[in-house]
Amino acid sequence: MTPRTSVRIGMIGAGFLAETRARCYAQVHGYDVQIVAVAARTSERAAAYADRHAIPRVFTDYRELLALPDVDAVDLCVPNHLHRPLTEAAAAAGKHVICTKPLTAYVGQDLAANATDADVSDQSRAQMLAVATMDAVAMVAATERGDVHLMYGENWVYAPAISRAAGLIAHSRGVILEMRGGECHNGSHSPFSKIWRYTGGGALVRLGSHPIGAMLYLKQQEGLARNGAPIRPVSVSAEVGDLSKIAAVADAEKNWIVRGWQDVENWAALILTFDDSSRGVVYASDAVLGGMESRLEIFLSNGQFKCNLSPHDLLQTYSPDASVLGNAYLMEKASTSAGWSTPLPNEDWSSGQLAMCQDFVAAVAENRPARSDGRLGLEVTRVVYAAYLSAEQGRRVEI
């Protein structure tokens, strides 16, 4: 079948992530890509997004967007609890689905409508694992029934540093013995990120899903290249906590890290064991100053790679005072421009967002799976909630 040259996207959601997607779709090459409609909770929010990105149609009901015959794929930039129902609706309408990470999360979807925040966060982690996994399986199944593709928005898989490392690893034919990676910053200021029922967890699910996704992908690729079968995770051991509740931190008059986490962790660490006995060490924290840190180290039987997504030193600058650069954007979560800093020349490129959108558009045009697909998102979901179960029970959990 001859690949299509044009791809029409329907955007559902009009927040921060939808802005990133619009920037990246505008830079996709080789295809005529257009966001032809947007749906958001309020007409004002949808109209403002449409005005910024020259989108012709605006809706507050996503079902009207799904009914449009010229929409090829929908991009779900919506809260976690909407991922499954919107994916199922889109697949039934014959639309390819792009879903941001995490693919699914436990937000009390099995509880009564009047369940409290405490009811949600007090649920056993075993039940959370079962429900979140069930939702992820249902999403994959819905897109398979609809003969459409489910694309999982894990940008780390596409980050230039990690993508280049993956190619060199394949060339070296080395065995990945261990990986160490994490994402950290000084904490989200969104009130929704601090409550389990809105996010499905804390730093582990919001930040840790990135290195987990990259590690799973790299071991899958290694196994497929070596013997035609992906290498899969078999167990996880984890701890989680809220470092902002350390007494000396909680009582401090001035605090640089975000506090007020209601029932979620702001720190997590886990050890992931694969079926070839290799290991992955994952960390995630909302208690790290100095801007976003996203790194992955890969240790081979015949080499080593260090992947820096943020910060990296393509550009370094020094300012004696924050007033020199004022409110100029440097990098995500940078709290000041004083002193030495690393302004990222193109954060969409270095984070992998741009290459991810390029692959997603090509996948739609060529009617093929994306490099980061729904099954990767399903595996990440299993690992994340098995890690929560491990932390709750203080033991290693088989996956």
In angstroms and rounded to an integer, the radius of gyration of the C-alpha atoms of the chain is 21
Tell me the two tokens of residue 288: 């790290």
Residue partners of 69: CB distance under 8 A and separation at least 6: none
> For residue 2, what pLDDT is reported?
66
Judged against a pLDDT cut of 90, whether residue 88 lies above it is answered with yes
- Rounded mean pLDDT of 161-188? 96
> For residue 67, what pLDDT is reported?
98
Report the Cα 218 to chain-centroid distance in Å: 16
Task: Return mean pLDDT, the chain.
Answer: 95
Same domain, 148 and 182: no
Same domain, 189 and 331: yes
> For residue 42, what pLDDT is reported?
95
Judged against a pLDDT cut of 80, whether residue 163 lies above it is answered with yes
Alpha-carbon distance 16 to 42, whole Å? 15
SS3 182: strand
What percent of the chain clears pLDDT 90, i.e. is strictly above it? 85
Alpha-carbon distance 67 to 93, whole Å? 7
Q: Which domain holds residue 93?
A: 6-155
SS3 194: helix
Q: 46: domain CATH number?
A: 3.40.50.720
**For residue 131, what pLDDT band results from cuts at 50, 70 and 90?**
very high
Judged against a pLDDT cut of 80, whether residue 1 lies above it is answered with no
Judged against a pLDDT cut of 90, whether residue 331 lies above it is answered with no
Count of domains observed in the chain? 2
Same domain, 169 and 300: yes
- CA torsion sign for 187, 20, 11, 100 is negative
Same domain, 217 and 106: no
Reported as a single tens digit per residue, the pLDDT across 262-299 is: 999 999 999 999 999 999 999 999 999 998 999 999 99
Same domain, 133 and 102: yes
Is 257 inside a domain boundary? yes
Alpha-carbon distance 246 to 78, whole Å? 33
> For residue 142, what pLDDT is reported?
98
Is 1 inside a domain boundary? no
Name the domain boundary from 126, 155, 184: 155
In 3D space, the residue among 215, 147, 152 whose CA is nearest the CA of residue 183 turns out to be 215
Helices (H), the chain: 16-25, 43-53, 62-66, 83-92, 117-121, 125-145, 160-172, 196-199, 203, 209-227, 247-250, 347-350, 353-366, 374-393
**For residue 257, what pLDDT band results from cuts at 50, 70 and 90?**
confident
Is 360 inside a domain boundary? no
Same domain, 82 and 168: no
| CA-based max dimension of the chain | 65
- Rounded mean pLDDT of 369-390? 98
SS3 67: coil
Same domain, 186 and 196: yes
Give me the torsion for CA of 141, 146, 149, 152, rounded to 10°: -50
**For residue 256, what pLDDT band results from cuts at 50, 70 and 90?**
confident
Judged against a pLDDT cut of 90, whether residue 303 lies above it is answered with yes
Reported as a single tens digit per residue, the pLDDT across 204-246 is: 999 999 999 999 999 999 999 999 999 999 999 999 999 999 9
210 in Cβ contact with 185 (< 8 Å): no
> For residue 342, what pLDDT is reported?
87
Same domain, 348 and 200: yes
In 3D space, the residue among 71, 4, 69 whose CA is nearest the CA of residue 34 turns out to be 71
Is 264 inside a domain boundary? yes
Same domain, 45 and 112: yes
Residue carrying the six token digits 């702001």: 266
Same domain, 117 and 222: no
Same domain, 143 and 247: no
**For residue 344, what pLDDT band results from cuts at 50, 70 and 90?**
confident
Is 305 inside a domain boundary? yes
Is 365 inside a domain boundary? no
Name the domain boundary from 117, 133, 155: 155
- Contacts of residues 243-248 at CB distance under 8 Å and 24 or more positions apart, as own/partner, are 243/267, 243/285, 243/287, 244/187, 244/286, 244/287
Same domain, 32 and 145: yes
Residue carrying the six token digits 């003969």: 147
Name the domain boundary from 127, 155, 183: 155
For 41, other C-beta atoms within 10 Å of its C-beta total 13
- Rounded mean pLDDT of 73-102? 97
Q: 232: domain CATH number?
A: 3.30.360.10
In 3D space, the residue among 186, 263, 179, 169 whose CA is nearest the CA of residue 223 turns out to be 169
Given phi > 0 = left and psi -120 to 50 = alpha, else beta, which region is 201? left
Alpha-carbon distance 204 to 238, whole Å? 10
- CA torsion sign for 142, 147, 148, 154 is positive
Residue carrying the six token digits 């389990």: 196
Is 291 inside a domain boundary? yes
Is 169 inside a domain boundary? yes
> For residue 340, what pLDDT is reported?
85
> For residue 132, what pLDDT is reported?
98
Judged against a pLDDT cut of 90, whether residue 356 lies above it is answered with yes
